[in-house]
Amino acid sequence: MNECSFGPVRFLPGPNRGKYPSCHSIYIEGAGVLIDPASDRERLLRLRREEGVQAVWLSHWHEDHITHLDLFEDLPLWVSAQDAPPLGDLEVFLDWYDMQGPFRDQWRGIMTQQFHYRPRRPAGFLADGQVLQLGPVSVEVMAVPGHTPGSLAFLFREPQVLFLADYDLSSFGPWYGDLLSSIPQTIASVERLRRTPARAWLAGHETGVFTDAPAHLWEQYLGVIQQREARLLELLQQPRTKEEIIQAWIVYGRPREPRDFFYFSEWAIMKKHLERLEEQGRLWRKGERLGLR
Q: What share of the chain is helix, strand, coil (3-state, %, to 5)?
A: 35, 20, 45
Assign domain 236-292 one CATH number from 1.10.10, 3.40.50, 2.60.40, 1.10.3470: 1.10.10
Per-residue model confidence (pLDDT) at position 18? 97
Neighbour tally for 64: CB within 10 Å: 18
d(CA 206, CA 290): 35
Architecture of the 4-218 domain: 4-Layer Sandwich (3.60)
Per-residue model confidence (pLDDT) at position 131? 98
List of the chain residues with pLDDT < 70: none
Q: Give Cα separations from 229 to 120, 233, 250, 293 (angstroms).
A: 37, 6, 9, 15
Per-residue model confidence (pLDDT) at position 79? 98
Q: Give Cα separations from 185 to 15, 20, 39, 143 (angstroms).
A: 30, 23, 27, 11
Query: What's the maximum distance between 2 C-alpha atoms anywhere in the chain?
Result: 62
Q: What letter would DSSP give residue 123?
A: S
d(CA 125, CA 129): 12
DSSP 152-171: EEEEETTTTEEE-TT----T
Can you point out the beta strands (E) in 104-151? Answer: 124-125, 131-134, 137-143
Can you point out the beta strands (E) in the chain? Answer: 4-6, 9-12, 25-28, 33-35, 55-57, 77-79, 124-125, 131-134, 137-143, 152-156, 161-163, 200-202, 209-210, 240-241, 283-286, 289-292
Determine the residue type at 114: Q
Per-residue model confidence (pLDDT) at position 71? 98
Per-residue model confidence (pLDDT) at position 229? 98
Beta strands 161-163 and 200-202, pairing class = parallel
Neighbour tally for 151: CB within 10 Å: 26
d(CA 48, CA 136): 20
| Contact yes or no for 120/87 (Cβ under 8 A) | yes
Q: Domain ranges for the chain, please list them.
A: 4-218, 236-292
